[in-house]
Structure 1
Amino acid sequence: MQIDFQKSADGLVPAVIQDAATQKVLMLGYMNQEALDKTLSEKKVTFFSRSKNRLWTKGEESGNFLMVQDVKVDCDRDTLLIKANPVGPVCHTGADTCWEEKNVSNDFLQQLENIITDRINNPTDASYTAKLFARGINKVAQKVGEEAVEVVIEAKDNNDELFLNESADLLFHYLILLQAKGFVLNDVINVLKQRHK
């Protein structure tokens, strides 16, 4: 990836951050070569902060990281487009984007994934999701297994309502498991797309 960092006097290029799932523009930051290298190696967006005068990984204090999915450079080789999965709100104000727009998809599963992310990052005693996640990966995986068995049992019967309810439970717990492993449903969809080629 050839990037012309020398076009600007400070050696920085703009980096536009876009949600990999919703395609919404989330924020704009600046990168030098070191910030880009760290972003590519750690798969978390890292900028060069002009106000802090140092490398700054988005989410280093809040935990609201931007998990890198793809990096592209524009035709002039002086601007980056980074597609990422946000872990929580992107703006320091608590908004979804730095333009105070909601980062929502018309896709209900995407909305559900965002709710799961929020429950994990902002746990409350009332949240089933937060409690399950806090019990660790083994418990989350076990729950997916239990729900899968219940789907199989209901598939052999003739009660469509029970089958659909158990299927919903399985899908919900699978989405939690994906996030516990650091992934989202779109990562699985990308694997399926690659297999389809």
Structure 2
Amino acid sequence: MFMVKLDNNQLVPTIIQNATTNDVITLAYMSPESFELTLNNKQVWFFSRSRSELWHKGETSGNFFNVESIHQDCDSDTILIKVHPTGPGCHTGNETCFTKELTDLPEFTSTTQHGTILEQIFTTIEDRKLNPKKDSYTSHLFTSGIEQISKKVIEEAGESAIAATKKDKDSLIYEVADLFFHTLVLIAALNLNPTNIWEELEKRKN
């Protein structure tokens, strides 16, 4: 009987590889339940860490991962699934998530929990941009256009400032969260991402 070691979150990292080209498509995470669904349905299911729920890859985009074979590594703590994708494998529309070639030694930084939350939210925002949902507020924002999104950013910035002048800390937290969210939508609408902001902030930290 095979054993698979789970991490502290009861998940196992899973590498997805194109069975035809051998290109690595992405790295995601599976729970025991998503693994069972993958085995039974012959299509890949993940566990979304940002939404804390099962995720049938392709359910909204139509870009499914049809399973050819499943393997585990020698330490039994990583899964490799060879698939036949029915469309682009990455939410950006690329065939693979690994599109940035590193030719020099990069600057290594530690991702804080809070930075991770913003990036997880941004991933969902981009998904709503590429795969609109009728009842999604985020999808509605993209449909309304950059001018309307910009107005929302201005509105939330003003409400944040008003809460601060009133020394209303609870309202300030709420309004700044709204400001962060709508700003992420705005940069997604302009095909930017949080990394562009982090790089600019790195220049200012001194």
**Residue 161 in structure 1 maps to residue 192 in structure 2:** no
Cα distance, 1:194 vs. partner? Answer: 2.7
List alignment gaps of at least 5 residues for structure 2: 1-13, 25-86, 105-111
Cα distance, 1:192 vs. partner? Answer: 1.4
Q: 1:173 to 1:67 in 2, by over 3 A?
A: farther
List alignment gaps of at least 5 residues for structure 1: 1-23, 31-57, 75-104
Cα distance, 1:134 vs. partner? Answer: 0.9
> For the aligned residues, what is the CA RMSD?
3.7
Question: Residues 47-196 of structure 1 correspond to what in structure 2 (within 5 A)?
Answer: 59=88, 64-65=93-94, 70-73=100-103, 107-196=116-205
Letter in 1 for 2:137: Y
| Distance in structure 2 (CA, Å) of the matches to 1:29 and 1:127 | 33
Cα distance, 1:70 vs. partner? Answer: 4.5
Cα distance, 1:71 vs. partner? Answer: 2.6
SS state of the match for residue 72, structure 1?
coil
Q: 1:195 to 1:26 in 2, by over 3 A?
A: farther
Cα distance, 1:120 vs. partner? Answer: 1.3
SS state of the match for residue 71, structure 1?
coil
| Distance in structure 1 (CA, Å) of the matches to 2:158 and 2:135 | 27
Using structure 2 for the length normalisation, give the TM-score: 0.48
SS state of the match for residue 166, structure 2?
coil
State the 4+ residue runs in structure 1 displaced beyond 2 angstroms. 24-30, 65-74, 194-197
Identity rate, percent: 30
Q: 1:29 to 1:72 in 2, by over 3 A?
A: same
Q: 1:189 to 1:177 in 2, by over 3 A?
A: same
| Distance in structure 1 (CA, Å) of the matches to 2:142 and 2:151 | 12
Letter in 2 for 1:177: L
Residue of structure 2 in register with 1:78 after alignment = none
Using structure 1 for the length normalisation, give the TM-score: 0.50
Q: 1:185 to 1:63 in 2, by over 3 A?
A: closer
